[in-house]
Chains A and B, each alone.
Chain A
Amino acid sequence: MAFVCNWCTYAGADLAGTSRMEYRPNVRIIKLPCTGRIDPLFIIKAFENGADGVLVSGCHPGDCHYTTGNYHARRRWIGFKNLMEFTGIDMRRLHFSWVSASEAIKWVDLINNVTGEIKKIGPFMEYKGLK
């Protein structure tokens, strides 16, 4: 599951598509206006609903369409990533990235790498088993 911002990463993924680049089909993309709009609860909800890994991606620092959204997001992720790590979520399942509108190649590599890493550890049975 990938949460991406509308202006950079989504456009980057779009570029990969229009350029006919091939990458692993495992990712489902959810587009949001900005990484600043990505509530940590989205990520928890994604795991709850069966995601085996989550990727969050947006504009590079300094490039935010709304000037500062990704700076706020970065602060939040620093907290959230450490919280998830402390809880015992395998960090191979949670990835953060900056991908700009022109970085179709980076996007393709990123998805391939993340998918490969998650495939190695398999489905997130610990979370799915919670009832």
Chain B
Amino acid sequence: MEEQLRNKAKELLETGCVKVVIGYGWNRTKTRTAPVFITRPEDADRLVWNPLCVNNLSVYLTRKFKDIQALGKPAIVAKGCDIRNIVVLITEAQVRREDVVIIGMTCGGVVYRQELWKGELKPEIMPTKCANCGVRNPRVADFVIGERSSFTPPEAPTGMVFDKIKAIDAMTPAERWNFWIGEFSRCIKCYACRQVCPLCYCERCITEKNMPQWIETSAHPRGNLSWNLTRAMHLVGRCTFCGECERACPVNIPLNLMNQKMIQVVDEAFAFKSGYDEKTHPPMIVFSPDDKEGFIK
């Protein structure tokens, strides 16, 4: 697969079809992968593909990265789940489909965090999303690299995230409150969750607006709560559960729980799953006169 990927990248660069290939490469000690930007065909051999390729590279297609856009038309190495984010970017008019070449990788799952890698991919070091993945064979890709995967996700989603959501739903409001305040109190406001998120592409984030100061920048429980709630709200109907925010969080806040919960809410209320169809509008920018709710009196 790696060989195929390198050849494809080389070909794309040589023909001038793209100017940069965004992919994964090794660090110096070959223990971790990190994003690389290949601009010369002879460098295409730096590209790698393995279960350590966790990063969602679609973040580099957003307007936050003007200097990457300045390089020219990109090709991007993407797993099926990463492509879902590109699809959301397309539906939100951030990227045009024809402006990016998607090299889809069939995927057997990745590790939750690279530190967990001990040479073998076992279910216990994989994130919940991989166990329920319906896009191991990438869709919406220009090229697909790798053998077709025959994996079918379980009918009822399984995994730690789903179990925990059920446990939180069963709590009393006071218990839920204590749980979340406890988690959010560790937040250090480094904004890694925002920066690593392909869907947090605003050039001026609401938290940077201080006339008036909507969200307190202080890293105390009140400011942290308001920040995390606002971010969760801004992702409603958009988040694809790629899990990058939780992975990037230096203080282990279980952001996946909140985002997955909202995915379930959106699915129940609007029968919508984000990132599958680049022609459908995201649910929060449209409406239906028949929307159902039971709480507006």
Do A and B touch (CB < 8 Å)?
A: yes
Residues of A within 8 A of B (CB): 40-41, 44-45, 48, 61-62, 68, 71-72, 74-91, 95-98, 110, 126-127, 130-131
User: A98 CA to B180 CA in the complex, in Å?
Assistant: 31
Cβ of B130 to closest chain A Cβ, rounded Å? 24
CB distance B236 to A83 under 8 Å?
A: yes
Which A residues touch B226, using CB under 8 A?
A: 41, 44-45, 48
CB distance A96 to B176 under 8 Å?
A: no
CB distance B293 to A88 under 8 Å?
A: no
Q: Residue A87 contacts which of B169, B176, B293 (CB distance < 8 angstroms)?
A: B176
CB distance A130 to B181 under 8 Å?
A: yes
Whether B116 sits at the interface, judged by CB under 8 Å, is: no
Given A74-B296, A87-B180, A130-B225, 10 further pairs, Cβ under 8 A: A61-B289, A74-B287, A79-B269, A86-B261, A88-B180, A90-B173, A91-B295, A97-B297, A98-B297, A130-B222
CB distance A75 to B284 under 8 Å?
A: yes
Cβ of A52 to closest chain B Cβ, rounded Å? 15
Given contacts A72-B287, A76-B284, A131-B221, contact A96 B266 (CB under 8 A): no
Which B residues touch A87, using CB under 8 A?
A: 176-177, 180, 225, 229
CB distance B230 to A41 under 8 Å?
A: yes
Q: Residue B214 contacts which of A45, A84, A97, A131 (CB distance < 8 angstroms)?
A: A45
Which A residues touch B221, using CB under 8 A?
A: 130-131
Which A residues touch B270, using CB under 8 A?
A: 75
CB distance B230 to A40 under 8 Å?
A: yes
User: A74 CA to B294 CA in the complex, in Å?
Assistant: 11
Whether B220 sits at the interface, judged by CB under 8 Å, is: yes
User: A61 CA to B287 CA in the complex, in Å?
Assistant: 11
Whether B233 sits at the interface, judged by CB under 8 Å, is: yes
CB distance B177 to A88 under 8 Å?
A: yes
Residues of B within 8 A of A (CB): 168-169, 171, 173-181, 206, 214-216, 220-222, 225-226, 229-230, 232-233, 236-237, 258, 261-262, 265-266, 269-270, 283-284, 287-289, 291, 293, 295-297
Interface class of chain A by DSSP: helix
CB distance A41 to B206 under 8 Å?
A: yes
User: A112 CA to B236 CA in the complex, in Å?
Assistant: 33
User: A44 CA to B73 CA in the complex, in Å?
Assistant: 41
Interface class of chain B by DSSP: helix
A-B contact pairs, 14 of them (CB 8 A): A44-B230, A48-B226, A68-B287, A75-B270, A75-B291, A78-B269, A80-B233, A81-B295, A83-B261, A83-B262, A84-B229, A86-B258, A87-B225, A98-B297
- Please give me the residue from chain A that is nearest to B185 by CB atom: A130
Which A residues touch B168, using CB under 8 A?
A: 86
CB distance B233 to A79 under 8 Å?
A: yes
CB distance A75 to B222 under 8 Å?
A: no
Q: Residue B284 contacts which of A79, A83, A88, A110 (CB distance < 8 angstroms)?
A: A79
Q: Residue B176 contacts which of A40, A45, A88 (CB distance < 8 angstroms)?
A: A88
Given contacts A75-B270, A96-B297, A131-B222, contact A89 B173 (CB under 8 A): yes
Which B residues touch A80, using CB under 8 A?
A: 233, 236
Q: Residue A130 contacts which of B220, B266, B289 (CB distance < 8 angstroms)?
A: B220
Cβ of B99 to closest chain A Cβ, rounded Å? 29
User: A96 CA to B265 CA in the complex, in Å?
Assistant: 18
Which A residues touch B179, using CB under 8 A?
A: 88
User: A113 CA to B111 CA in the complex, in Å?
Assistant: 52
Q: Residue B293 contacts which of A78, A85, A90, A110 (CB distance < 8 angstroms)?
A: A78
Which B residues touch A127, using CB under 8 A?
A: 222
CB distance B284 to A89 under 8 Å?
A: no
Which B residues touch A98, using CB under 8 A?
A: 296-297
